[in-house]
Amino acid sequence: MPPSPQKHLGCYPRTRLRRTRRTVWSRQLVAESRLAAADLIWPLFATEGERRREPVASMPGVDRLSIDLVVEAVGEAVALGIPAVAVFPSIEAELKTPDAAEALNPDNVVCRAVRAIKTAYPGIGIICDVALDPFNSQGHDGLVQDGRVLNDETVALLCRQALVQAQAGCDVVAPSDMMDGRVGAIRDILDGAGFVEVQIMSYAAKYASAFYGPFRDAVGSGAMLKGDKKSYQMDPANGAEALREVALDISEGADMLIVKPGLPYLDVLRAVSQTFGVPTFAYQVSGEYAMLKAAVANGWLDGETALLETLISFKRAGASGIITYAALEAARLLQRH
Ligand code: PBG
């Protein structure tokens, strides 16, 4: 008896999913996600000095750069088609105080870096991190009193920090502090000062993660950090709570969202991007980068394919783009592909 067409619909041997995988051209045609330099945001660490390049030991290939070298590095990003950079400060321990006053200094290293980048490369997007930890002698994102990280007092400072960054010429402020209510407060301050076009990229779902260790080495906040950040960053056990965080930030005026870290939170990224349809970025954080580089240094992974695989996984999960320390490297690889 001939097999019924119904029974064989979508079944082997008429259907062979390997058929479309066989050749490069066909794989290209059926690819569901794509990765381009235009998807990438490159974080940079700015520090004092001239012609100064200080490697970050736990992040092979990442350096703290004096502003002149930051500008040169941004030139490379521009040439590779990377649309935006994120500037982080690495400041001397003496400048770190309990009130994080340096965060509000319009001539701090971040603001000077922003002005220098804007002058040299007016077309690239500049994102500034809003949080006190690189400036705070206790390594916390907010003001600390009697061992507690204060919310509302911190928000008032974050607003002033965002304002000096906007005045320096940044295009996007990215609050990474996880205080309640900061997105709305920052929006109001920026609007009141005429910076209606400055975007807010909110670290909406940011987890209390072990994967930030190398970043804290880079900005020098790790050694200073007293305790942990679990009273403000999210519990890795929680997913539904991330949707509440995101909903609040959108209602307060966030233009774009970040889910952070990246790979361990792909489920959250997927849920956020599907639920809200707001541009959502994955942050492939320092510890993820360090893990990859360490395995590659040992000869245990093929670095190029492993890197591109992690990045495409973010796109597959729904990311609009990825913040990654490997942005330059990835953009170069993509030119060859
Ligand atoms: C600071 C901040 C952190 C990161 C980005 N902004 C560290 C932290 O919250 O402790 C982490 C980035 C990374 O690990 O690459 N608020």
Between the CA of 212 and the centroid of ligand 1 the distance, in Å, is 6
| Alpha-carbon span 279 to 281, nearest angstrom | 7
| Alpha-carbon span 323 to 262, nearest angstrom | 9
Task: State the pLDDT at residue 250.
Answer: 98
| Alpha-carbon span 138 to 143, nearest angstrom | 9
User: Band of the pLDDT at 114, cuts 50, 70, 90?
Assistant: very high
**How do residues 274-303 score in pLDDT, each as one tens digit?**
999 999 999 999 999 999 999 999 999 999
* Residue ranges per structural domain of the chain: 34-336
- Mind giving me the DSSP string for 195-215? -TT-EEEEEEEEB--GGGHHH
Pocket test of ligand 1: the residue of 215, 225, 288, 289 to mutate, having most ligand atoms within 8 Å of its CB, is: 215
Q: What percent of the chain has pLDDT over 70?
A: 97
Task: State the pLDDT at residue 140.
Answer: 97
Specify which residues 66 forms β-bridges with: 47
For residue 236, cis peptide bond before it (omega within 30 degrees of 0)? no
- Is the pTM higher than 0.75? The answer reads yes
Distances in whole angstroms, Cα of residue 320 to Cα of each of 105, 203, 270, 273, 337: 33, 14, 11, 9, 21
Q: Which of 140, 137, 139, 186 is nearest to 164 (CA)?
A: 186
Q: Which fold has domain 34-336?
A: TIM Barrel (3.20.20)
User: Band of the pLDDT at 337, cuts 50, 70, 90?
Assistant: confident
Pairing of strands 256-260, 84-89: unpaired
For ligand 1, residues with CB inside 6 Å are 129, 131, 133, 141, 176-177, 212, 215-216, 229, 285-286
Q: Which amino acid is at 9?
A: L
**How do residues 309-334 score in pLDDT, each as one tens digit?**
999 999 999 999 999 999 999 999 99
Torsion of CA 73, 79, 85, 90, to 10 degrees: 0
